[in-house]
A and B are shown apart, each in its own frame.
Chain A
Amino acid sequence: MDHDAVEIKGLSKHYGGLAALDNLSLDVKAGEILGYLGPNGSGKTTTIRLMLGMIKPTSGSVSIFGYDAQTQKDIVHTALAYVPGEANLWPSLTGIETLHLLSKVHGRVDLKYRKKLIQRFEFDPNRKVRTYSKGNKQKIALIAALASRAELLILDEPTSGLDPLMEQAFREAAVEAKNRGQTIFLSSHILGEVEALCDRIAVLRSGKLVELGTLEQMRHLSSLTIEASFKEHPPEVKHINGVSKVEINGNSLVCQINGPIDELLSVLAKAHPLTLISREPSLEELFLALYGRQTEAK
Chain B
Amino acid sequence: MPPSVAQTSSSLKNLRGSKSAISWFTFRRSVFGGLLFGLFATAESYAQGRGIIAAFPNLTQRALIIHGLANNAALGLFYGDKTANIVSPSGYMVYRIMPILVLVAAIWAMTITTKMLRGQEENGRWELLLSGPFSSGQATLKSVLGIFGVFVSSFLVFGLTLALLSSKGAFRLTLGGSLYFALCILAGGIIGLAIGAITSQLAATRRSAMLYAAALIIVFFAVRAVANIINGLIWLKNLTPFGWIDKLRPFYYAQPIWFLPIVLFAGVCLVSAILLSSKRDLGQSLIADKDSAKPKFGLLNSQLGLNFRLLRNVLFGWLLGGVAFATLIASIDKTVAKTLGSSGSKGRLIKTFSNLTGNPDSRIEIAYLSAAGFFTITLLLIMTANYLSALRDEETSGRLDNLISGTLSRGYWLYARLALVLGAAVTITFITNVVIWALAAAQGISVSFLTLVLGGLNILGPLMLLLGIGVMVYGLVPKVLSIVMYALIGWSFTIDIISSALKLSKGFSDTSLLHYVSLVPAANPNWRTFTLISLIGLAGILIGAIVFDRRDLQIE
CB-based contact B403/A105 at 8 Å: yes
In A87-130, the 8 Å CB interface with B consists of 87-94, 96-97, 100-102, 104-107, 126-128, 130
- Chain B nearest CB, measured from A293 CB (Å): 32
Q: Determine the chain B residues whose CB is within 8 A of the CB of A88 once the complex forms.
A: 397-399, 401-402
B397 to chain A, nearest CB (A): 5
Q: Which of B289-297, B343-351, B364-372, B466-474 lies at the binding interface? A: B289-297
Contact A105 B407 (CB under 8 A): yes
Are A97 and B300 neighbours in the complex by a CB distance under 8 Å?
Answer: yes
Is B406 on the interface with A (CB-CB < 8 A)?
yes
Q: Do A130 and B122 have beta carbons less than 8 Å apart?
A: yes
- Judge whether B205 and A84 touch: CB under 8 Å: no
User: What are the residues of chain B within 8 A of A101 when measuring CB–CB?
Assistant: 300, 306
> Is A52 among interface residues, defined by CB-CB distance under 8 A?
yes
Q: Determine which residue in B291, B300, B309 has the highest number of CB atoms from chain A within 10 A of its CB, and name it.
A: B300
Contact partners of B310 in chain A: CB under 8 A: 90, 92
Which residue of B is nearest A51, CB measured?
B405
* Residue from the set B293, B300, B399, B406 with the largest chain A CB neighbour count within 10 Å: B406
List residues 43-79 of chain B with CB under 8 A from any CB of chain A: none
Instruction: Say which residue of A56, A78, A96, A128 sits within 8 Å of B290 (CB atoms).
Output: A128
The reply on A296 being an interface residue by CB < 8 A is: no
Within 8 Å by CB of B300, from A52, A73, A86, A100, lies A100
Shortest C-beta distance, B293 to chain A (Å), equals 6
Do B295 and A94 have beta carbons less than 8 Å apart? yes
Q: SS class of chain B's interface: helix, strand, loop or mixed?
A: loop
Please give, as numbers and ranges, the residues of chain B lying within 8 Å of A87 by CB-CB distance. 402
A49: interface (CB < 8 Å) = yes
Interface pair A94/B402, CB less than 8 Å apart: no
Residues in B neighbouring A104, C-beta threshold 8 A:
300-302
Interface presence of A141 (CB below 8 A): yes
**Is B404 located at the chain interface by the 8 A CB criterion?**
yes
**A91 engages B205 (CB within 8 Å):** yes
Q: Which of B205, B300, B301, B553 is in CB contact (< 8 Å) with A49?
A: B553
Q: How large is the interface on A (under 10, 10 to 19, 20 to 34, 35 or more residues)?
A: 35 or more
Question: Which A residues, 60 to 94, have Cβ-Cβ distances below 8 Å to chain B?
Answer: 73-74, 77-78, 80-82, 84, 86-94
Q: Which of B122, B295, B404, B408 has the most CB of A within 10 A?
A: B295
Please determine whether A94 and B300 come into contact, CB atoms closer than 8 angstroms: no
Residues of chain B lying within 8 A (CB to CB) of residue A130: 122, 205
Can you name the residue of chain A whose Cβ is closest to the Cβ of B207? A92
A97–B291 CB distance below 8 A: no
Query: Which residues of chain A come closer than 8 Å to B406, judged between CB atoms?
Result: 77, 81, 102, 105-107
| Bound-complex Cα distance A38 to B284 (A) | 38
CA distance A73 to B552 in the complex (A): 14
Q: Shortest CB–CB separation between residue B295 and chain A, in angstroms?
A: 5
A96, A106, A131: the one within 8 Å of B295 (CB): A96
A80 CA to B296 CA in the complex, in Å?
A: 27
Residues of B within 8 A of A73 (CB): 409
Answer yes or no: B506 CB below 8 A from chain A CBs: no
Q: Mark B197-210, 1 if CB is under 8 A from A, else 0.
A: 00000000100000
- Interface set of A (CB-CB < 8 Å, partner B): 49, 52, 54-56, 73-74, 77-78, 80-82, 84, 86-94, 96-97, 100-102, 104-107, 126-128, 130-131, 141, 154
Extra A-B contacts (5), CB below 8 Å, given A77-B406, A90-B310, A131-B291: A49-B553, A77-B405, A84-B402, A88-B398, A130-B205
Interface CB pairs A-B, < 8 A, 8: A54-B405, A55-B552, A84-B401, A100-B300, A128-B291, A128-B293, A131-B292, A154-B405
Q: Which residues of B contact A (CB under 8 A)?
A: 122, 205, 290-293, 295-297, 300-302, 306, 309-310, 397-399, 401-409, 550-553
Give the 6 A-B residue pairs with the shortest CB-CB distance, closest first. A105-B406, A82-B405, A55-B552, A88-B398, A107-B407, A54-B553
